[in-house]
Structure 1
Amino acid sequence: MADVIDMAEYGEGFRDDPHPVYAHLRELGPVHRVRLPPPESYDTWLVVGYEEARAALADPRLAKDVAGLDVRPREEEVIGKHLLTADPPQHTRLRSLVTRAFTARRVEALRPRIQAITDELLDAMLPLGRADLVESFSYPLPITVICELLGVPEMDRAAFREMSNEFVAPTSEDGFVRSVDRLAAYLTDLIEDKRGAGPADDLLGALIRTTAEDGDRLSPQELRGMAFLLLIAGHETTVNLITNSVHTLLRHPAQLAEVRADPGLVDAVVEETLRYEGPVENATFRYAAEPLEIGGTAVARGEPVLIGLAAADRDTTRYPAADRFDLHRDTQGHLAFGHGIHFCVGAPLARMEARTALRTLLRRAPGLALDGPPGEWLPGMLIRGTRTLPVRW
């Protein structure tokens, strides 16, 4: 058995800036046995090399469905099956049903509404002269978009934020368990309300009605699982993509000046932020369905594997001078949205929201600057972002 590296020993510095730690681990090898910091505090394999991570993300021997592996995450027990807990052929079936409702046309049709929400938020924020960007802009934009898309009542969004935050960045094991239970109960009620209200022109209503050519449709448990995935992944990642893009750009004045001179570089800002400081630090767990090797390291059947997206995207063998934020870099192949069959179905929506947010913010707040240090970085090793980002203009 390989020596276990206790990630907690790196202290708060690892939470604030994990990249030097990942660089050190890459120097030692592409795959390591680690113990996660609290509240998780259990052992897993961690993949930190780019080529190894890319291969692992597409390796069918690394299962999402843990049936038969003596592993049963509480999330799946309570919430239900969804795209990130299923393998083919079930994953293929679920994704085909979801993509019928989550089409490119539906996403493109959201563009005017995304712009309108962006402008409304800035209309309220800009007269203040200073604000917490997360509270006033980065959070309300994607949560409004995804809740409108799925048909979540506006009155429920504050409570949903609390549940969602505790799920993706748990402050304790008990808090995580409570958040899962509350999310499951909330989504069950929401779906039942949708069924009782009749046809609705929103994504959740479409998922309820969607039927494949062979008559297949999502079960109640699968509906709950898919609603959970789309709501959580549909806003938490985008909140931090917007915040990290602004934060990173404001810490690089030369690049900020370039973007102000050429707003066409906004797309490059978003892509380089995805690589340099993406909102998902590590992919959700996979489990070895059979004994295998990753980067020359033996992984036993049933063992968990954590694939480091942030670590891989700073691998200098793939991206020279990877610790430099460079708007002119070729970012092709970055792993911020994953790779393979589990590539993020919401990537086009996240890109559209981030580009719209950044382009409009920079145009309407030409004096935008940091107004003090950011808040604490989120706990855990899933989501990468700060709780607050004070700015002025």
Structure 2
Amino acid sequence: MVSPHWCCEGPRPGAHPERSTMTITSADAAQIQKLPYSHELDWPEGLSPWTVIDETGAQGEPYAHFEWMRRHHPVLRVSHPQEDVYFVSRYADVRKGMRAAKIYRNQVNDQVPFAFPTLMDGSAHMKIRKVVAAGFTPKAIGMVADRVRDVATGLVDDFAVQGGGEVAEALNRPLTMATISGILGVPYKDVEQFDTWTESVWAWFARVSRMAPGLPGDEEVSQDLFDYLGSILEQLYEQDSEAVAGHIARAWKGEGILTRQQAIELCVFVFIAGFDTTTRLMGNGYLVFKDYPELLDRIDAHPRDVDKFVEELVRFRGPVHKAPRRLAEAVEVAGATIPAGSVVRLLLASANRDEERWGPNADKFDIDRNTEGHFGFGHGVHQCLGSPLARLEARTMFELIASRIDSVDFDPAHDLDLLKGNSLTNGVERLNVKVTARRR
């Protein structure tokens, strides 16, 4: 089944295509004709042509695609029913795009369908970002550190005793949901219901703003979540809560910075962003343990090395692979002109393995690597505000895994499903592992 987490640029139902109003010059048009489409290229054996939506799962492990693109087509033109999409794969070009926020616009739709900071630019983005940042202070992160360790300890202990299981359901999702519910201020008893709600919100969001098919009844189910969060915001405002949702509630009811709908949508964004990507990041860690089993002993013997492990994991197998942008003006990238108004995908995961930046062993996991400059948590004005929380969860989880578990084993052909149907994030969807507990 194709995941509902698509993120392809496209029209809002019932509206005109969400295409930039900027025109393409005759010079740009001539340059476009020189760029062949992905499906017209002679891809190496074993690599299918790159597509915007990975409906078959052929791009579940995309790193060979990325390497070929960097070498031969650093700007790749991909046909899509609504409009062409340009994929940029080299580190230097991605970095330039991430830093040029006025040219590479984060707002790809003419109208922003949801109050998500990742969909906005300029003053609107800064207004929303400032509200969220007020709740993600070091003090706020520190307040949930004990909760993270307590929850993770219980989960890992049970996992070790049982000899393994499905890592997302047994370990990662319970931890991330408990953590984000704590920092957001949502009662943990209601977290299970969020599974259904957030799946529908993702599908509705993708259908409305990214031209994906969505799910039956996604808007109706999402409205249930919106109603629930509206009541939670009312309660947190009355309590003068210091949780993230408390800050959002004051920005709405106390300061008038946000409307009620914007406040609710921002809560939805924080919750989804807070658990989905971190869940996949921690799932990806087991793929590393499979290939580099010695790392379990190293982290067990030197727990502080878990910091280096997590940072290299974010570079090597970070869950966010692509950053969608809309060009405010024509740009030249690697000798190709991309016209104004075009949709561009900056391939963060490709840049994080670019040999020109990381050396000849860029596609190897090296816990001792200097990872400064990776794009695993974004870059520039759109740097991920929740990255300290994600790091805290991942560090805690992997330190405990290494201290309790001696070995991890699974058969990728039967035990592993990677996310498909997604054009933004990537990683483990399902993974059953067998583990051997350490004897102390």
Give the TM-score range, shorter chain: 0.7 to 0.9
1:378 to 403, 419, 424: 419
Cα distance change, pair 390–311 in 1 and its aligned pair in 2 (3 A)? same
Partner of 1:245: 285
Q: Tell me how far apart the structure 1 counterparts of residues 408 and 78 of structure 2 sit (CA, whole Å).
A: 38
1:345 matches 2:385: yes
Cα distance change, pair 112–173 in 1 and its aligned pair in 2 (3 A)? same
Between 1:9-18 and 1:186-195, the stretch displaced more is 9-18
Q: Tell me how far apart the structure 2 counterparts of residues 264 and 146 of structure 1 sit (CA, whole Å).
A: 24
**Rg larger in 1 or in 2?**
2
8 Å Cα contact 1:275/1:334 also seen in 2: yes
8 Å Cα contact 1:272/1:327 also seen in 2: yes
2:262 to 200, 205, 222: 222
Q: Look up the equivalent residue of 1:121 and give its one-letter code.
A: L
Deviation at 1:42, TM superposition (A): 5.8
8 Å Cα contact 2:93/2:333 also seen in 1: yes
1:95 to 119, 126, 129: 129
Q: Tell me how far apart the structure 2 counterparts of residues 294 and 174 of structure 1 sit (CA, whole Å).
A: 32
1:204 matches 2:245: yes
8 Å Cα contact 2:378/2:384 also seen in 1: yes
Q: Tell me how far apart the structure 1 counterparts of residues 186 and 118 of structure 2 sit (CA, whole Å).
A: 22
TM superposition score normalised by structure 2: 0.78
Number of residues paired by the alignment?
379
2:225 to 186, 199, 202: 186
SS at match of 1:131: strand
Deviation at 1:185, TM superposition (A): 4.3
Q: Tell me how far apart the structure 2 counterparts of residues 260 and 196 of structure 1 sit (CA, whole Å).
A: 43
Q: Tell me how far apart the structure 2 counterparts of residues 103 and 212 of structure 1 sit (CA, whole Å).
A: 21
8 Å Cα contact 1:14/1:21 also seen in 2: no
Measured against aligned partners, the alpha-carbon deviations of 1:178-214 in whole angstroms (never above 9, x if no partner) come to 546633541243123431573263321221114899x
SS at match of 2:86: strand
> What is the identity percentage for the equivalent residue pairs of Structure 1 and Structure 2?
27
Cα distance change, pair 54–185 in 1 and its aligned pair in 2 (3 A)? farther
Partner of 1:133: 167
RMSD: 2.8
8 Å Cα contact 2:132/2:247 also seen in 1: no
Q: Look up the equivalent residue of 1:371 and give its one-letter code.
A: F
Partner of 2:154: 120
Cα distance change, pair 185–61 in 1 and its aligned pair in 2 (3 A)? farther
Deviation at 1:27, TM superposition (A): 0.6
Partner of 1:313: 352
Between 1:94-103 and 1:139-148, the stretch displaced more is 94-103
Q: Tell me how far apart the structure 1 counterparts of residues 178 and 167 of structure 2 sit (CA, whole Å).
A: 15
Deviation at 1:302, TM superposition (A): 2.0
8 Å Cα contact 1:133/1:388 also seen in 2: yes
Partner of 2:78: 34
Partner of 2:85: 44
Structural mapping, 1:9-158, within 5 Å: 9=49, 14-35=58-79, 43-59=84-100, 60-66=102-108, 71-72=110-111, 76-77=112-113, 80-158=114-192
Deviation at 1:140, TM superposition (A): 1.0
Measured against aligned partners, the alpha-carbon deviations of 1:207-242 in whole angstroms (never above 9, x if no partner) come to 1114899x5522223212311221111111110111
Q: Tell me how far apart the structure 2 counterparts of residues 359 and 291 of structure 1 sit (CA, whole Å).
A: 47
Q: Look up the equivalent residue of 2:38 and give its one-letter code.
A: I
Q: Tell me how far apart the structure 1 counterparts of residues 279 and 212 of structure 2 sit (CA, whole Å).
A: 24
Q: Look up the equivalent residue of 2:407 and give its one-letter code.
A: L
Deviation at 1:113, TM superposition (A): 1.0
8 Å Cα contact 1:168/1:383 also seen in 2: no
Measured against aligned partners, the alpha-carbon deviations of 1:161-180 in whole angstroms (never above 9, x if no partner) come to 24434666989933358546
TM superposition score normalised by structure 1: 0.87
Structure 1 unaligned residues grouped into runs of 5+: none
Partner of 2:429: 387
